[in-house]
Amino acid sequence: MARIAVVLFNLGGPNSLEAVRPFLFNLFNDPAILDLPTPLRYALAKLISWRRAPVTRDIYTRLGGHSPLLDQTKGQREALERVLRERGHDVHCLIAMRYWEPFISEAVKRVAEIQPDQLVLLPLYPQFSGTTAGSSLVEWDRAARKAGLVVPTQRICCYPSLPGFVNTVARSTLAAINEVRAVAGEPRVLFSAHGLPLKMIQEGDPYQKQIVASVDAMVGAIGDPALDWRVCYQSRIGRMEWIGPSIREEIVKAGAERKPLVIVPISFVSEHSETLVELDIEYAQFARETGVPYYIRTPTVGRQAGFIDGLAGLVENALDPASSGQVITPEAPGFCEGCMCCPCASERT
């Protein structure tokens, strides 16, 4: 039986208040985040991390002094490994965080120790962006080359319409809609995703297109032709133009119309600062201040069975001999057409 290693990629988060500033530096020193010459990027990352550290520490103070993301990801790792072993695979699932411990370099060393026959790289980002999955896969390649790691490897690119993901979100969304209907009338559903600078989309990043694909699939799964829904984006920073509309703009509109809101995070698969603080505290308070009569947020998919089963299916598809050495995506052929920052691009050249 082939020995398999599956590496789960995620953003990472500070494990203490003292780690906040170096975590922010790692984030902003990534060329996928700040596309600047190395010396300038390094200096700017130092400045930004110094300026943002106090506010960010306040956020993590609300979360008990550390990010919950690693614990959330550990739960997903354990659940996925269990499902794959129940399906008869000799598998070891590992975690690789981009900006804090356990770093990607640590996962490379662990894979070398396991000595698998096959390796599957699985970003925990349903929608691909060069700033998330793309950055992690690039860093994996760099760290693997440096360590001399050579293993037959399959990469899962993106899965915005994966049924296990879509149906899990749709079920929780429908439950929230019914809850709101019972007490506050017909709600508006805001599908909220992490924002991205408009410039990146214009340069070919497929993220926004894939967000729309996720939402279209979720609305179809909910199956209510009269559903009132919008796509919006959160977590903007800096002065550049970002994709929109922003969640803040949509909350203001809902308040003016006295519309109750169901907030559905669709680019996050784990609970962390952007759901537990930004959505649950900051925007919930803003909604009350702007006249929204009812505000509820659905949970992220976490380790729910449907989502984990979907991930297991992706891994099994990647292990198919016909997929060897390929970038794997369950979407239709041509889904990433024209995107030169997506790893699918390397398969077309």
Q: What average pLDDT does this structure show over 39-45?
A: 96
Q: What is the pLDDT of residues 71-102, one digit of tens each?
A: 999 999 999 999 999 999 999 999 999 999 99
Contact between residue 188 and residue 294 where contact means Cβ atoms under 8 Å apart: no
What mean pLDDT do residues 317-342 have? 58
Written as six digits, the tokens of 258 are 């006295």
pTM across the whole model: 0.93
Q: What is the pLDDT of residue 347?
A: 44
Assess contact for 1 and 87: CB atoms under 8 A: no
Q: Do domains 3-160+305-347 and 163-297 have the same CATH topology?
A: yes
pLDDT in tens, 102-137: 999 999 999 999 999 999 999 999 999 999 999 999
Taking alpha carbons only, the member of 234, 248, 135, 243 closest to residue 199 is 243
Name which of 63-72, 263-272, 296-305, 330-339 the model is least confident about: 330-339
User: Quick check: 104 and 97 in contact, CB under 8 A?
Assistant: yes
Q: What are phi and psi of 95, to 5 degrees?
A: -115, 135
How far is CA 289 from its chain centroid? Answer: 29
Q: What is the pLDDT of residue 236?
A: 85
Residue 339 has pLDDT above 60, yes or no: no
1 pLDDT band, cuts 50/70/90, is confident
Apex 62 CA angle, 58 and 64, nearest 5: 110
- pLDDT at position 338, please? 45
The pLDDT of residue 239: 80
Share of the chain above pLDDT 70, in %: 92
Listed by start position, the domains of the chain span: 3-160+305-347, 163-297
Predicted local distance difference test score (pLDDT) of residue 284: 98
Q: Among 35-39, 84-88, 268-272, 334-338, which is the least confidently predicted range?
A: 334-338
Alpha carbons 163 and 305: distance in angstroms, whole number: 12
Confidence of residue 349 (pLDDT cuts 50, 70, 90): very low
State the pLDDT confidence band at 340, using cuts at 50, 70 and 90: very low
User: Using one digit for the tens of pLDDT, what is the confidence trace for 149-193?
Assistant: 999 999 998 999 999 999 999 999 999 999 999 999 999 999 999
Averaged pLDDT of the chain: 92
- Three-state SS string across the chain, please? CCEEEEEEEECCCCCCHHHHHHHHHHHHCCCCCCCCCHHHHHHHHHHHHHHHHHHHHHHHHHCCCCCCHHHHHHHHHHHHHHHHHHCCCEEEEEEEECCCCCEHHHHHHHHHHHCCCEEEEEECCCCCCCCCHHHHHHHHHHHHHHHCCCCCEEEECCCCCCHHHHHHHHHHHHHHHHHHHHHHCCCEEEEEEECCEHHHHHCCCCHHHHHHHHHHHHHHHHCCCCCEEEEEEECCCCCCCECCCEHHHHHHHHHHHCCCEEEEECCCCCCCHHHHHHHHHHHHHHHHHCCCCCEEECCCCCCCHHHHHHHHHHHHHHCCHHHCCCEECCCCCCCCCCCCCCHHHHHCC
Quick one: CA torsion of 8, 159, 195, 6, rounded to 10 degrees?
10
Write out the binding residues: 194, 274
Per CATH, the number for 3-160+305-347 is 3.40.50.1400
Q: In this predicted structure, what is the pLDDT of residue 329?
A: 56
**Is the model's pLDDT at 259 over the cut of 50?**
yes
Binding positions for Fe(2+) are 194, 274
Residue 118 · residue 324 · CB < 8 Å = no
pLDDT attached to residue 295: 98
pLDDT tens digit string along 192-211?
Answer: 999 999 999 999 999 999 99
Distance of CA 224 to the CA centre of its chain: 26
Q: Are 187 and 181 in contact (CB under 8 A)?
A: yes
The answer to whether the beta carbons of residues 127 and 182 sit under 8 Å apart is no
Residues contacting 239, CB < 8 A, separation 6+: none
What number is the average pLDDT over the span 220-244?
93
What's the CATH number for 163-297?
3.40.50.1400
